[in-house]
Structure 1
Amino acid sequence: MGKVNACLKRGYIVVASLIGTISALLLAATLFGHGYLHEAEEVDEMLPGIGLLYAVCILTLLLSIIGVYGASKEKQWALIVVIVGMSLVSLTMFVEVTRAIPAQHETGEEVRREYQSLVPLSDASEPDKVGLYNLQINLKCCGLEQGHQDWDNDIPESCICTEHATVPCVEAPKNSSLYVDSIDNEPIMIYKEPCLPIFIGHVHMAITIIIGILFGLTLMWALSAGLCAVMLYQLRRKFDVPPVVYSPEAKAGNYTTLTESAENA
């Protein structure tokens, strides 16, 4: 049986340890997210995805532990388990990531429809208004798609531009609710840009980052399977050792001839 290259073994142990650490962190994040969303109404729709995350995290964590053991002890069965397991996980995640790419546009359209149902915003429920206020403050915008016009004349204070705003601002309509308590009738500046395009852009960016991270993890899992395959090949190599043949003629060897030559001299 052959021996595994020491540099290859150390490289795989580093990769497997990194995979194990990431899997443990993802498992902790999944547990925290599941607990946080436990009371949410949308949790039933998210259960298949949460279950898949649990399975992937636990499986990759176990495979990384088995892989480190197999590489350290040079156990062929452990390397075979890692090759099969990591290959299946990589293939599954590659399919899921590929399916998630076109879903990015669908998610944006779903968010757009959900927010458009709130227009006119002045008639929205109080919880929805609170969410919109926070959205406008954080993104420095006003309204959804038509700007302040989505609020009719009931423009909230969260639309007012801050003193050092770096985004475009416009003067609020004089007949809006912002001027009710105004004494000097000075112009009140509000954010010009609507919130929905900005928010959907952030959603697309977040999905892109998640897809990139998952794709990178998929490549790392595939790399670990490839390194295990190379180590398994090295372990199964057979070296041709030339047979040792006894020869009576080599009994005396060349030392006799050298000794005789020295005596004659």
Structure 2
Amino acid sequence: MSKINLCFKRIFVFFNVLFAILGALILSLGLLAHVQLHEAGGNKLTGVIVLVVVGFVIFILSVLGAYGAQKENRNVLIAFFVIMCMGTISLFRMAVQIAISREQVISEFQKLGHLDQADSDIKNTMELLQLNAKCCGLFNGYKDWGNEVPTSCNCEDTKHDRCQVYSSDENQGVFSQPCGPIILGYLNTALNITLGAFIGFGVLSLLAAVMSLVMIIRITAPTVSPPAIFDLNYKPPKYSELVPSA
């Protein structure tokens, strides 16, 4: 006989199945990206490896929780509860670290400059951003590039508000808007999404831990037998039924 409420169990299993599907999708996406980057000759696979590990962990934990609840296995549910508690603490701790270091990251970025002294990866990324966002430099415009202003800063229509004259030649213009504020907007959005993801997954982990604890308590609780029922309205048999008639 099941000791856990059927509706409660089904809700717990349902959400674990959803997270198992999510973990499988993340794992598949990470493996696909790993194969494509490997074929393209990419060496920086750290982000892809993290994606694979996260997807695998989510999938295994979800399967573990769904199996423990469906079979009402106390040991599996205890293991799931302990892991969820550890995950909740880790997620909230990382969220706090992101919230604390957020201003420091933005402040350090604002100190950047002199793109002419940056490495090739940063230069290539900046030139790609300048072409797409129609901007130039970080916070000081073309001056951040020193004497090596790239062609990605060039603006054809010097009479337009977004262009400014770069040299004595009035036909040579560059984008007047710096890229720094645009990058800061992307950075703020990325930090907000990351912080929200950590807090959201932390709350879900805490909820899963509480639900698994409830099921553990229900499973370990002793079975109480129903009390015996005595009929207090006892009526003795009639005298005529006990003594046969002559």
Q: How would you bin the TM-score normalised by the shorter chain? A: 0.7 to 0.9
Aligned to 1:97: 95
Displacement of 1:84 in angstroms is 1.0
Could you list the per-position Cα deviations for residues 136-166 of structure 1 after superposition, in whole angstroms to 9, with x for gaps in the alignment?
122221222112343567563544278xx9x
The 10-residue stretch of structure 1 (90-99 or 144-153) with the greater mean CA deviation from structure 2: 144-153
Q: What is the distance in 2 between the residues matched to 1:196 and 1:210? A: 21
Q: What is the percent sequence identity of the aligned residues?
A: 26
Cα separation, 2, equivalents of 1:215 and 1:161: 46
C-alpha distance in 1 between matches for 2:11 and 2:151? 58
| 1:179 to 2:176 alignment | no
Q: Deviations over 1:105-125 (max 9, x none)?
A: 333344445x514248xxx78
CA distance in 2, matches of 1:85, 1:59: 11
Deviation at 1:100, TM superposition (A): 2.1
Amino acid in structure 1 at the alignment position of 2:66: V
**Matched-pair contact (CA < 8 Å) for 1:27–1:54:** yes
Higher RCO, Cα 8 Å, sep 6+: 1
Task: Provide Cα deviations, 1:73-131, integer angstroms capped at 9, x if missing partner.
Answer: 22222211111111111212221222122233333344445x514248xxx78765543
Any unmatched runs of 5+ in structure 1?
181-187, 261-265
Separation in 2, partners of 1:28, 1:210: 21
- 2:75 aligns with one of 74, 77, 81: 77
1:116 paired residue number: 113
Residue 156 of structure 1 pairs with residue 151 of structure 2 = yes
Distance in 1 (alpha carbons) for counterparts of 2:216 and 2:54: 24
Letter in 2 for 1:150: D
* TM-score, length of structure 1 as denominator length: 0.68
| Aligned equivalents of 1:151, 1:243: Cα separation in 2 | 87
Counterpart residue number, 1:183: none
2:132 is matched with which residue? Answer: 138
Amino acid of the residue matched to residue 89 of structure 2? L
Alignment partner of 1:193 is 2:177: yes
Tell whether the 8 Å contact from 1:70 to 1:79 is kept in structure 2 after alignment.
yes
Letter in 2 for 1:93: L
Cα root mean square deviation, aligned: 3.9
